[in-house]
Structure 1
Amino acid sequence: MSRIRAAVLGSPIEHSLSPVLHRAAYQELGLDDWSYDRFEVDEAGLPDFVAGLGRDWAGLSLTMPLKRAVIPLLDAVSDTAAAVEAVNTVVFTQDGRRLGDNTDIPGILAALQERGIGKVPSAAVLGAGATASSALAALARICSGEVTAYVRSRGRADEMKQWGERLGVQVKTVDWARAAEALAAPLVIATTPAGATDALAPAVPEAAGTLFDVLYDPWPTALAAAWSARGGTVVGGLDLLVHQAVLQVGQMTGRPGPLAAMRAAGERALAAR
């Protein structure tokens, strides 16, 4: 039996949950001839890795630091990915073309919609890295008012304002020292590394709105735990990871990704860590 291959690439990649999610999807869909692996690949090694892939490859998932580095290697990039200059999904067509897309943005929207979060009048973003630009792109579709970004440097502030102009979002930037103010927003998206928002946990308001914390390990974060204790709605990084992977499975296999099976597999894997 010939195998159809897919994989996740990045550096570091050892702790990626993508193989768990995609393999669970293949099992649920009865795709016994599909395999999904992980490869440690940095920016310098990416061109040779991609060039060496054969016709048995269906697609790639990309994590940091490859989401921008892969773009010059592709034949076409979706409008969604182009908007944030970040590709996390590559699909290889039968005629050999390499097509890039970004499933993080619709993944954010799907995770919010699952919790009943549709349009919001305003929002706050904690952080200004790559995930923050995807958050702004998602907010461009659901936020009717201003987005306030809490950042640590003038350079980051300028970048977020530029992303806002590019994506059609009204962005106001505030110094990180005032990040506790963000927690009063109806929707707060935390895009910072582990531990960065722990000090904000005591400041969660009694009438907490919705927190979307993109981390999933460790989980819950101190901020997410405090938010839940206040009765607010919490959307976690596993929600994003699963929803974006569901979309990837759909693009690579041509069949809808099985959300419940993939989430259950991710929850089991995290519980075992």
Structure 2
Amino acid sequence: MLSADATRLAVWGDPIAHSRSPQLHTAAYALLGLPWTYERRRVSETQFGAALADTTETWRGLSLTMPLKHVAAKAATVLDRAAQLSGAVNTLVPGDAGIRGFNTDVAGLVAAIREQGIERAVHGTVLGAGATATSALLALEALGAREVEIRARRPDAAGHLVALGASLDLHVTAVPLDAPRTHPDARTDPALTIATLPGDAELPASVLDAVVVPGGLLVDVVYGSWPTPLAAAWEGAGGQAVSGLPMLLHQAVRQVRIFTTGDVDEPLPSESVIVASMRRALMED
């Protein structure tokens, strides 16, 4: 149980000045009538252990961004399923039984995709094989995909994703970014692609020809300038592209649930109103 005096929250990472989490969380707690504070703090991976040990009973919880998600997972006493499978934690909550760790990125990505009208994915494609690609794979599993193609600059770097897929009874293959497309056109077989590449990545024409699916949905999980070169090419081919902002919003909603009740699956009171306020705060930044 958290003390009633536990009113401090923050997002930690390095860099951290760009984080929009304070706007999102502050909007939610204002509507909930909670006098909590939520701040940014620059904490590097080497500083994390000491910073965590220095927290007191006034701390209600932490949001974590890169590069702290894996060290946060190791610091947690109990992990939710998404955190266990991904080895990444973006939410820490102290308690009498220890520190609980959550990965709300997966559920946030699922919610963002469903917001675009896709309730179930027949198959999915992930661009990139880094840390975020793991959450993307788990989101596709949650959407019911049974086949997932990982496209990466170095397909051999996707071995952990292939192994994770096998443990989940998913057929996961890893191919180069510019490998010929094997799935049908999205106009006859709706397709979903999740890009986890750097937002400023300049992709050669051979890669764009291979990855862009006319009529398909691209979720490009970046928060910076928009559209990215990939998103621009996607929309130019008649597809729909959305940024990572909806994912950021919905993962934060689940963090608010955790910080208020401890239950990631229990909706907030008047949650639709709170989500709308958080979305306005995000768009106003």
TM-score w.r.t. length of structure 2: 0.85
- 2:151 matched residue in structure 1: 150
| Alpha-carbon distance between aligned partners in 2 of 1:177 and 1:106, rounded to the nearest angstrom | 29
- 2:264 matched residue in structure 1: none
Q: What root-mean-square deviation, in Å, do the aligned CA atoms of Structure 1 and Structure 2 show?
A: 2.5
Helix, strand or coil at the partner of 1:194: coil
| Alpha-carbon distance between aligned partners in 2 of 1:152 and 1:190, rounded to the nearest angstrom | 13
| Alpha-carbon distance between aligned partners in 2 of 1:100 and 1:183, rounded to the nearest angstrom | 39
Tell me if 1:215 matches 2:222: yes
Quote the sequence identity (%): 41
Helix, strand or coil at the partner of 2:38: strand
Gaps of 5+ in 1: none
Tell me if 1:252 matches 2:256: no
- 1:66 matched residue in structure 2: 68
Deviations 1:93-133 (A, max 9, x none): 3x363110110011111111111111121111100011100
Q: Kindly tell me: are residues 127 and 178 of structure 1, through their superposed partners in 2, closer, same or farther at Cα, counting changes over 3 Å?
A: same
Is contact 2:5–2:57 with CA below 8 Å preserved after alignment?
no
| Alpha-carbon distance between aligned partners in 2 of 1:202 and 1:181, rounded to the nearest angstrom | 15
| Alpha-carbon distance between aligned partners in 1 of 2:54 and 2:121, rounded to the nearest angstrom | 45
- 1:117 matched residue in structure 2: 118
- 1:42 matched residue in structure 2: 44
* Structure 2 counterpart of 1:130, one-letter code: A
Query: How much has 1:91 moved relative to structure 2?
Result: 1.4
Helix, strand or coil at the partner of 2:234: helix
Is contact 1:140–1:168 with CA below 8 Å preserved after alignment?
no
Gaps of 5+ in 2: 262-266
Is contact 2:124–2:145 with CA below 8 Å preserved after alignment?
no
- 1:104 matched residue in structure 2: 105
Instruction: Figure out how many residues of one structure are paired with residues of the other and give that number.
Output: 267
Helix, strand or coil at the partner of 1:68: helix
Is contact 1:184–1:205 with CA below 8 Å preserved after alignment?
no
Tell me if 1:90 matches 2:106: no
> Which has the larger displacement, 173-182 or 163-172?
173-182
Q: Kindly tell me: are residues 92 and 157 of structure 1, through their superposed partners in 2, closer, same or farther at Cα, counting changes over 3 Å?
A: closer
* Structure 1 counterpart of 2:148, one-letter code: V
> Which has the larger displacement, 105-114 or 172-181?
172-181
Is contact 1:5–1:59 with CA below 8 Å preserved after alignment?
yes
* Structure 2 counterpart of 1:48, one-letter code: A
> Which has the larger displacement, 75-84 or 173-182?
173-182
